[in-house]
Amino acid sequence: MRARREGFTLIELIIVVVVIGVLAGIVIAKFVTAKEKAYVAEMKSDLRNFVLYEVIYEDDNAGAYFSGDGTAQGFKPTPDVTVNATALAGPPPTWQATAVHAKTSTTCSIGVIDPTRLAISCP
């Protein structure tokens, strides 16, 4: 009669560890991607908010736009995000801005397509 086996064999334990490792690798990869998407979302949100400051400044200053980070106009970006605008002489005068996040290498930019449309790109 065969003796009763107790516990797991070494092969069974190795298989379980490998399966857990593969699952952990998948989860970690998804988490890193989600963090990157969150950083890009913060930059896009700040650029959309920055548009309001440029439009208000333009209304108050006879069609002129400001350059810089907008702190003089009251703009306050999300922590770790830096937004910088450049006013472009026309005709007509326009502007463009870029946003960078301290925790990613991705840079987002916004520019004027025509007087009524803006385009945000984050390559």
Rounded (5°) CA angle 69-70-75: 120
**Sheet with 107-114, edge to edge strand ranges:** 81-88, 94-101, 107-114, 117-121
Please identify which residue in the block is written with the tokens 């025509």.
Answer: 114
**pLDDT tens-digit profile of 50-62?**
988 988 888 898 8
Q: What is the mean pLDDT of residues 18-23?
A: 95
Q: What is the pLDDT of residues 71-123, one digit of tens each?
A: 888 899 999 999 999 988 877 788 899 999 999 999 999 987 666 778 888 87
Q: What's the start-to-end Cα distance of the chain, in Å?
A: 69
Secondary-structure percent of the chain, ordered helix, strand, coil, rounded to 5:
45, 25, 30
Q: What are the boundaries of each domain within the chain?
A: 10-121
